[in-house]
Structure 1
């Protein structure tokens, strides 16, 4: 693994490169996550491949990178990274990163040979007239609250994640590496380095412009595979993308195919070996 500085329109983004193969996968993470969330997938790539995972604006090593935020801004950053890495590349994104990846593929299809969306990218139904901030609180409120909390040390921060209902039963070293990468601060004040303002801005964008991702799915011409989990962010059924929603958009999106990854939730689909190996296989097929 090595660190990269990726030039974008108004500065540089930090990225992690896993492997040194000439064939490249470019990856975008979830709303409170970081580049390290793709460590499991990268370990399962063939030796002639490498995976470059961005720390999106406000996260990880790019936590000091200012806005604009939102999926259009992240998509522009992904396009700039693809050019820098030598397009065309394979593109993937998980959760929020899937929406950014889809938008990048629609805006700059010549830069991407295929797209793999991991438990994200489909418009989520938003109740009419509901306050976007309330929707945000109900969906990712606990994750946002974590960003303002502090912990005695990195071990205490690890314990917090280990107790998460979607993670604890399948805890592994990749998850531990992800938490250590996210932790900053002195003993007694260890915290996440994700910027809460960036998370709120991106969350509002996903909610208030939900319909635009349906337009993206219909317009998209890059071959795209959606891998989705049957369980959600707290390990519960249904998943973030229920099967009727998936079927609806597969029928309306000529470039989209979908595959349910049994036995996974919103996080374990990316960060445990069996589904990570499947993702790697679909990326490099």
Structure 2
């Protein structure tokens, strides 16, 4: 079975945070001194987006993937939203799992996809600075190309497309959800993979015939504004306590070329001074970098390198 199809059943856990409990998925390690790997999803995602990568890491690592505040089973957590709130929740999670400056875990590696890359970078540069030993950014975490005068809501609509549009929809049943996502140019080819089907199902709340996404729209608006405009967020990667790896997809959120990053833009970002190493993952888009064989292999290799480097 390929990594994209592999599903290892995780444990549902809860972590106390400001205002309630953060929902998360947990994959155990086989050894007590294994690295702790925390996987942080994107702006309208949830913890199950990481299932193929978590399955590939589980056993050799202790793996935790939270549902961010305002998403999936953390949708009931109150605002205020914003990437600083997510960074604080992430710090609480790290403390819950014993990460500390003296190495309570063998090594602690943060991995963030899309907006999750900005969250992990902000946490590593700030509230979790002494708790992090490695950082992997997956098609996110470095500033996107945003026209200075562009309206934030308009930019989010362009960036997210159907991922944002679904927040206004209701679905009579799971086949209708599948039908909606099957039309997505990047997610569509993956809707029948067990891990991706589980990710799409975790997004839902309500009862048939009125299923809808659990994502809180206000959380997306506030978080999106931070991701696109907040200088503290956009500059977090210039003050990281550890080297970071950026894995970038050739194609974008809708499968388009160029994607969110390209060689020309990255060359002008001063990554060497920031101790960020950028690597293209050929043949992937913004979504399949999490699910395809080449994406899973690239992310897991980068995580293991980060953990090894911290020893």
For normalisation by structure 1, the TM-score amounts to 0.94
Q: Does 1:31 align with 2:52?
A: no
1:192-225 Cα shifts (integer Å, max 9, x gaps)? 111111111111222221x434421211121211
SS at match of 1:72: helix
Structure 1 residue corresponding to 2:124, chosen from 102, 105, 110: 105
- Is the CA contact 2:172–2:209 (under 8 Å) kept in the aligned structure 1? yes
Q: Gaps spanning 5+ residues in structure 2: where?
A: 1-9, 101-107, 306-311
SS at match of 1:147: helix
- CA drift of 1:141 comes to 4.4
User: Hey, what's the Cα distance between the residues in 2 that align with 1:139 and 1:102?
Assistant: 21
User: Hey, what's the Cα distance between the residues in 2 that align with 1:248 and 1:11?
Assistant: 42
User: Hey, what's the Cα distance between the residues in 2 that align with 1:233 and 1:125?
Assistant: 14
Larger % of helix: which?
1
Structure 1 residue corresponding to 2:215, chosen from 194, 213, 222: 194
SS at match of 1:129: coil
SS at match of 2:207: coil
Q: Does 1:20 align with 2:20?
A: no
Structure 1 residue corresponding to 2:83, chosen from 66, 71, 75: 71
Structure 1 residue corresponding to 2:194, chosen from 173, 185, 189: 173
Root-mean-square deviation (CA, aligned residues, Å) is 1.7
User: Hey, what's the Cα distance between the residues in 1 that align with 2:301 and 2:268?
Assistant: 25
- CA drift of 1:274 comes to 2.7
Q: Relative to structure 2, which stretch is displaced further, 153-162 or 100-109?
A: 153-162
- Is the CA contact 2:117–2:138 (under 8 Å) kept in the aligned structure 1? yes
Structure 2 residue corresponding to 1:235, chosen from 252, 255, 272: 255
- Is the CA contact 1:4–1:15 (under 8 Å) kept in the aligned structure 2? yes
Residue number in structure 2 paired with 1:157:
177
Aligned length: 284
SS at match of 2:109: strand
